[in-house]
Amino acid sequence: MPAAGALDSDGEMRSSPRVPRLDFIEAELAELEARDRRRRVRVVEARHGAEVVVDGRRLVNFASNDYLGLAVDARLAAAASRAEAEHGVGAGASRLISGHTSVTAALEQALAAWVRRPACRLFNSGYAANTGLLPSLAGAGDVIFSDERNHASLIDGCRLSRATVEIYRHNDLDDLRRRMAARSGRRRFVVTESLFSMDGDGAPIDEIVAIAHGGGAAVIVDDAHALGVLGADGAGLAPSTQADIVVGTLGKSLGSAGAFVAGSAALVDLLWNRARPLVFSTGLTIGAQAAALAALEVARSDEGDRRRAALIELRSQLGSALGLAHGVGAIVPIVLGADAAAVSAAAALEQRGFWVPAIRPPTVAEGTARLRVTLSAIHSSDQVRALVDALRPLVR
């Protein structure tokens, strides 16, 4: 039998019955299209403060997690440039080989101090952090209690751990108690976001910690969307609690890229040895690390306090105008229900000059497709007022 992929006498490629065909991909895409769930990337051609240029059109950007407006701050670009001039652009290797620089060490130390934990370990993304952390701690015979609306990275981290996973109802402390009482395990963990990325509501962390610790479970809090926005010095919602482990990100309020896990010195040492996304990945670029250090300095300063105050004022303005005053932080969801309704609304807003993404399953539950408005400290009150006018016909 000729080898798969060999040429016949006419120079044509022979197919082999042993080679799988990929025709099904087009059908899969067509099905997603029919259900209004096919995703397409948009090219951002330029950024000007809170505005972006997409497909040649200037839009006010309400689609970014750049909560403090630092991603477009010239000080971050300058810090990145200086560090790259001294250390080079790429880390050159995984951190355990030779990719751990003085910039990396300084950033880890600064982040640990910010979130008031003994030690910290950098990862290349929030997804890498959560899928590295959970399998490093939990395994077969253990049990993880996870909020039903946790981010996909937490969900996948739970799955990869091979622990038994108990999903408790969103922010339902009674359901958490019941499930913890009914399920034993060698090791037990409770995992929650502090500020939920698609709903904009906060978790009752102190109560969760009390329940978990009372049941012999450690608590892991993903503080990604509160970090920089809420808490003393913008350190998020978790640092003031007794949560055992804090996960944070550098790619939202800090305007750079990457993420971190903070906790005990023993924890971060264990991650060197078990967290596969850390051990087997080249380190973050030097520029991204230096930019995050510069952003952290701003976030912890009086300027950071002013930016947070401006952001919360804009949140109050938008929420009050639309009757959506519940929730904290920069995320304002507008639930429309059907996927098609969310897609149509996002397109209508774009025609009015606003970029607001349509969020559909599987990111959110069936029947809860929505617009996800995210605010930044560099939005103006006039921009928010104009968005409110454009949104009124969509909010019943």
Nearest to 390 by CA among 345, 339, 340, 343: 345
Q: pLDDT at position 323, please?
A: 85
Of the pLDDT bands very low, low, confident and very high (cuts 50, 70, 90), residue 2 is very low
**How many angstroms separate the CA atoms of 271 and 282, rounded?**
15
Nearest to 238 by CA among 275, 295, 190: 190
Match 């009482």 to its residue by tokens: 181
Q: Which of 61, 108, 153, 252 is catalytic?
A: 252
Mean pLDDT score, 98-115: 96
Mean pLDDT score, 190-216: 97
Q: What whole-number percentage of the chain has pLDDT above 70?
A: 94
Q: Look up 252 and say whether it is catalytic.
A: yes
Mean pLDDT score, 30-38: 88
Can you say whether the dihedral through the CA atoms of 22, 28, 33, 37 is positive or negative?
negative
Q: Look up 26 and say whether it is catalytic.
A: no
Q: Identity (one letter) of the amino acid at 358?
A: A
Q: pLDDT at position 41, please?
A: 83
- φ/ψ region of 171 (left if φ > 0, alpha if ψ in -120 to 50, else beta) reads left
Q: pLDDT at position 396, please?
A: 64
The greatest distance separating any two alpha carbons of the chain, rounded to the nearest whole angstrom, comes to 76
Q: Look up 376 and say whether it is catalytic.
A: no
pLDDT of residue 97 exceeding 50: yes
Q: pLDDT at position 394, please?
A: 80
Prediction pTM value = 0.91
Q: Look up 151 and say whether it is catalytic.
A: yes
Q: Which of 124, 153, 197, 376 is catalytic?
A: 197
**How many angstroms separate the CA atoms of 215 and 219, rounded?**
11
Q: Look up 193 and say whether it is catalytic.
A: yes
Name the H helices within 193-336: 205-214, 265-274, 276-279, 286-299, 302-322
Q: What angle, rounded to 10 degrees, do the helices at 74-87 and 102-114 form? A: 140
DSSP readout, 328-378?
Answer: -SSEEEEEEESHHHHHHHHHHHHHTTEE--EE-TTSS-TT-EEEEEE--TT
Mean pLDDT score, 284-302: 97
All structural domains of the chain, each given as residue ranges with its CATH number in brackets, are: 38-65+330-394 (3.90.1150.10), 75-299 (3.40.640.10)
Q: pLDDT at position 14, please?
A: 61
pLDDT of residue 117 exceeding 80: yes
Q: pLDDT at position 309, please?
A: 96
Q: Look up 305 and say whether it is catalytic.
A: no
pLDDT of residue 4 exceeding 60: no
Q: Which of 66, 193, 233, 339 is catalytic?
A: 193
Mean pLDDT score, 192-213: 96
Of the pLDDT bands very low, low, confident and very high (cuts 50, 70, 90), residue 20 is low
- CA of 291: how far to CAs of 34, 115, 284, in Å? 42, 18, 11
Q: pLDDT at position 6, please?
A: 56
Q: Identity (one letter) of the amino acid at 396?
A: R
Q: pLDDT at position 40, please?
A: 85
Tokens for 39, please give them: 């995703």
Tokens for 376, please give them: 């930044």
Of the pLDDT bands very low, low, confident and very high (cuts 50, 70, 90), residue 18 is low
Q: pLDDT tens across 68-95, in order?
A: 999 999 999 999 999 999 999 999 999 9
DSSP readout, 5-69?
Answer: T-B-TTSPBPP-TTSPP-THHHHHHHHHHHTT-------EEEEETTEEEETTEEEEE-S---TTS
Q: Which of 108, 130, 225, 244 is catalytic?
A: 225
Q: pLDDT at position 328, please?
A: 84
**How many angstroms separate the CA atoms of 70 and 293, rounded?**
12
- On average, the pLDDT of the chain sits at 93
**How many angstroms separate the CA atoms of 121 and 219, rounded?**
18
Of the pLDDT bands very low, low, confident and very high (cuts 50, 70, 90), residue 1 is very low
Mean pLDDT score, 122-136: 98
Q: pLDDT at position 285, please?
A: 97
* 289 contacts 107 by C-beta, under 8 angstroms: yes
Q: Look up 197 and say whether it is catalytic.
A: yes
Q: Which of 61, 64, 65, 376 is catalytic?
A: 65
pLDDT of residue 183 exceeding 80: yes
Tokens for 188, please give them: 């037990």
pLDDT of residue 19 exceeding 70: no
